[in-house]
Amino acid sequence: MKQKRLFIIAVLSLALWTFCWAYGLNLGTSAADFKVVSGDGKILTRQDILGKATGIFYETTDVVKQNMALKNALGKYYDAQPNSVRNIILRLPVINCSGVFLPLRAIYRSEFRKHSAEENITIYGDWTGRMFSDYNIQDGVSNVFLIDKKGVIRYYSAGRIADAQIDKVVALFKKLVEE
């Protein structure tokens, strides 16, 4: 009986590991493919982020301020860099737009353009929900991914990142830029 239980646990663990690996969720594995579109129609894919240290903030419109302290810290780091370093950094805010009713999408795109200009950063939308499902995003919270220049996930967190952890996350991002 005990061996059967251990076997079942091993099979379930392997299945869970395989599921997470297939969807690029494990640290140290390649990020899953994605396609997001900005308010002005610019398309960005996983292929486009290769060669850049990338910080992805995947959120819904009601939680965009949840990790504002981390966004500001990464923005401050980015602003302090020369253009040669800025060219290998990508801060990628993505909003889940998969549930937006078709007639309202033009309004969302317009708001993306407006907020992108205000924040001086291009905001993208996941219009199909594929990134949401492929990255196993937790709904209703800010999801943060740090991806290295080779497209490998090096950090993931869902929910508000504690103030005491922000310096550590920024230090990891700096390391990814320098690698």
Is 9's pLDDT higher than 50?
Answer: no
Q: Are 152 and 51 in contact (CB under 8 A)?
A: no
Mean pLDDT, the chain, rounded, equals 87
Range with lowest mean pLDDT among 44-58, 110-124, 144-158:
110-124
**Residue 150 pLDDT:** 97
Domain limits, the chain: 2-178
Kindly state the tokens that stand for 53: 């240290």
Topology (CATH) of 2-178:
Glutaredoxin (3.40.30)
